[in-house]
Amino acid sequence: MKITFIGGGNMANALIGGLRRQGYSAAGIQVVEPQEAQCTVLTDTYGVRCVPAIDASALNCEILVLAVKPQVMKEALKPAAGKLTNQLVISIAAGLRIDVLSRWLGGHRLIVRTMPNTPALISAGLTGLCAGADVDAEARNTAEKILSAVGRTLWVEEEDKMDAVTALSGSGPGYVFYFIEALEKSALELGFDAPTARLFAVETFLGAAKLAESSPETISILRERVTSKGGTTAAALDSFSADQVAEAIHRGVLAAEARGRELCELLGAD
């Protein structure tokens, strides 16, 4: 099975690295990347063929992974429009609907839309996937196998929910970093040096997340167990509640979803 990546940026790099670590042959991977420096990195690191533009060899594949920015996707796909046959197309671009990608590819319909997140860069990602109506079970399994090279996968049957996937998981690491930044800043203001402040913020968040992952208890029960009545945690959570932090987070996620829908309309308008 030959895989061609259109775009050789960070996420493509992560996927190629994940596939190679799983034993996938470098000879079976091609990359179309116009930046010469990035091509050199990919070739030197993974031993894959890398070319600056789509050529006949690049289209001689079973899997085509679309890994360029949504804003330049239409232009990037022009050399492939109307030239695909039975290739499975996997898009990792946010905000581009399956019908839009199909139109830009000259009516090709074997498309899986995905939304990975940045922890995929360390093989700890979560990717939401949604298959077009013409994608069969075998092709779904293939798409899942490729994306699972960088973490866990989750199928979404209704494409309308992909904007929610983007708001929750795709953008989610940004929310987590925002909270870690705030915790780190508090540690600095409490008199700790920068390395110690970072350690407190990152390791506390990492440990709590690992505990939540491994525990059969609900998140609310885990929270209650660390919150003694009248204690320090209760004081902080009471302050968060007074400032409506939970409601603000919810509003933020809804804003991200709304922006995702807006971008879908803007990017697919032409």
Number of domains the chain is built from:
2
Which one of 162, 186, 201 terminates a domain? Answer: 162
- CATH number of the CATH domain containing 119: 3.40.50.720
Of 112, 135, 162, at which residue does a domain stop?
162
- How far is C-alpha 42 from the geometric centre of its chain's CA atoms? 20
- Asked whether residue 120 is assigned to any structural domain, the reply reads yes
Q: From the CB of residue 260, how many other CB atoms can be counted at a distance below 10 Å?
A: 20
Q: What is the pLDDT of residues 189-198, one digit of tens each?
A: 999 999 999 9
**Residues 239, 145 share a domain:** no
* pLDDT 10s digits, 212-247: 999 999 999 999 999 999 999 999 999 999 999 999
Kindly indicate the confidence band of residue 58, based on its pLDDT and cuts at 50, 70 and 90.
very high
Task: Convert the pLDDT of each residue in 198-210 to its tens digit.
Answer: 999 999 999 999 9
Burial class (CB in 10 A: 0-12, 13-18, 19+), 198: middle
Residue 266 lies in a domain: no
Task: Share the mean pLDDT of the chain.
Answer: 95
pLDDT in tens, 129-139: 999 999 999 99
Q: Which residues form the domain of 221?
A: 172-261
DSSP 85-114: SSPEEEE--TT--HHHHHHHTTS---EEEE
Residues near 180 by Cβ (< 8 Å), separated by ≥ 6? Answer: 201, 202, 205
DSSP string, 126-176: EEEEEE-TT--HHHHHHHHHHHGGGEEEEE-SSGGGHHHHIIIIISHHHHH
Helix (H, G, I), strand (E, B) or coil at 221: helix
Task: Quote the pLDDT of residue 127.
Answer: 97
Which pLDDT score, from 0 to 100, does residue 269 have?
73
What is the domain-level CATH number for residue 211? 1.10.3730.10
Per-residue pLDDT of 97-110, as tens digits, reads: 999 999 999 999 99
Judge if 177 and 158 occupy the same domain: no
Q: Residue 122 has what DSSP assignment? A: G
pLDDT tops 90 at residue 270: no
Is the distance from CB of 110 to CB of 86 less than 8 angstroms?
yes
